[in-house]
Structure 1
């Protein structure tokens, strides 16, 4: 009975560009060691694809790496059975990213081997080690999420605006809400007309008739959003937003903000 061939690809990475111009550099050394290991496992059916995916001078703290992305594309195309690296941290230094990569590997039935750390998910012990690492990755994500939630809550209680798209009437200047006087006039007009009309439906009709539009925004990609007639939902949100009276809302509670109000509370 013929043995199933396991197609092995090598991934190498070096954080800095130092020494990469040498005839035989760190990436070459990693690739050579991994290729030799694959050859030593020929009796297990391992065979090299001849493909080495490399990222030189790129941090392992993120996944936006050309070599890594090319390897993932070939995994998704069904061209790889085993990924071989010199050390686990060559693949990634982030537990969260490691968990994402493992999801890709599992989905396409790809194993992962680190030749210097006895880490091999083709074995039961390797899979056990993997599960332990993924448990720590989940723990890290949960702790990070808790810290972010706590930081946001504490900041909002101090009246800090925590970013995002600034509402009509304000601009984001150095992560602070600063009154946009031209837009502020529109906000005040909307508030005053609502008090006079007593109806969002009537207010919308009047704003549409007079040509009032929502806040026009330019994205980082230079495309434009907004600049359209107000919907009733937009108006309900604007009319009930405590930010216009200098307040910050968080989980049903309202705190004094650090920004200037547009509407006097006596209105």
Structure 2
């Protein structure tokens, strides 16, 4: 007779966490209390084949804002080793307080077919209702990530329209002063030569050859790549001057 899927073995790992070390054993939300509540829930699901693993995964004195926790690392190691079927927590925020980190964990759980149960929140991805709730959470998370990406793109476009660099190291010939790019006079002649060579030859390859032949190569060998190395910002096939050289030295222009 085929085995009843409801009674198939389900190895449950109980994970607990508390942010501070003080009174870990005395508060209602202590690691011990969390573990007892989760253990009782797993025992109530014995008819479904659930059993609590003997190993404890307890993170005392660790914040839920990140994933760098020793017990969580041990939990993930055992998941990857195929030793766990379901992760049981008292509340979701014991696992993580970050929605993005939660999504990352769920992706790993899904890849390994790991269930997640929050005892106090009636959240159980081993059944259809729990999976529906999870899909709603993941949908909102994806929506949030796309909004953030749009804001970042809009910010980059705005800075480029105003000829401002969008983070990273200052291009060769410039330095940051109060958040703005300012010309380094000692390097202005080389920058002017780069602009002139590019406008004269029309390609970066030819311009860089001319720069090397002029003996300037060693002066800016660490000047990033061809687009930023001469004080330019690349975006949508257009090159825009990021900062103007001094009046007597500058060569200003756009190349579409």
TM-score by length of 1: 0.74
Q: Establish whether residue 265 from structure 1 lines up as the match of residue 251 from structure 2.
A: yes
- Say if 1:96 and 1:138, in contact at 8 Å, map to a contact too: no
- Say if 1:168 and 1:184, in contact at 8 Å, map to a contact too: no
Cα displacement (A) at 1:33: 1.6
Q: Counterparts of 1:155-170 in structure 2 under 5 Å?
A: 155-170=159-174
Q: Distance in 2 between matches of 1:23 and 1:198?
A: 72
Are the structure 2 counterparts of residues 205 and 88 from structure 1 closer, same or farther at C-alpha, using a change threshold of 3 Å? same
- Say if 2:170 and 2:176, in contact at 8 Å, map to a contact too: yes
| Equivalence for 1:123 | 127
Are the structure 2 counterparts of residues 194 and 114 from structure 1 closer, same or farther at C-alpha, using a change threshold of 3 Å? closer
Q: Distance in 1 between matches of 2:219 and 2:71?
A: 44
Deviation by residue 1:170-218 (Cα, 9 ceiling, x = unmatched): 34566543434444443234345567788854852661683723746xx
Cα displacement (A) at 1:252: 5.6
- Say if 2:59 and 2:69, in contact at 8 Å, map to a contact too: yes
- Say if 2:88 and 2:119, in contact at 8 Å, map to a contact too: yes
Are the structure 2 counterparts of residues 261 and 106 from structure 1 closer, same or farther at C-alpha, using a change threshold of 3 Å? same
Q: What residue ranges of structure 1 are gaps of 5+ in the alignment?
A: 217-225
Q: Distance in 1 between matches of 2:117 and 2:170?
A: 48
Q: Distance in 2 between matches of 1:56 and 1:179?
A: 52
| Equivalence for 1:95 | 99
Cα displacement (A) at 1:87: 0.5
Say which SS state the counterpart of residue 8 (structure 1) adopts: strand
Cα displacement (A) at 1:143: 1.6
47-56 vs 70-79, which moves further: 47-56
Q: Counterparts of 1:101-140 in structure 2 under 5 Å?
A: 101-140=105-144
17-26 vs 132-141, which moves further: 17-26
Cα displacement (A) at 1:80: 0.7
Cα displacement (A) at 1:78: 0.7
Deviation by residue 1:70-100 (Cα, 9 ceiling, x = unmatched): 2112111111100000001111222222222
Say which SS state the counterpart of residue 264 (structure 1) adopts: coil
Are the structure 2 counterparts of residues 178 and 71 from structure 1 closer, same or farther at C-alpha, using a change threshold of 3 Å? farther
| Equivalence for 1:222 | none
Q: Establish whether residue 50 from structure 1 lines up as the match of residue 54 from structure 2.
A: yes
- Say if 2:192 and 2:250, in contact at 8 Å, map to a contact too: no
TM-score by length of 2: 0.76
Q: What residue ranges of structure 2 are gaps of 5+ in the alignment?
A: none
Aligned residue pairs, count: 246
CA RMSD of aligned residues (A): 3.6
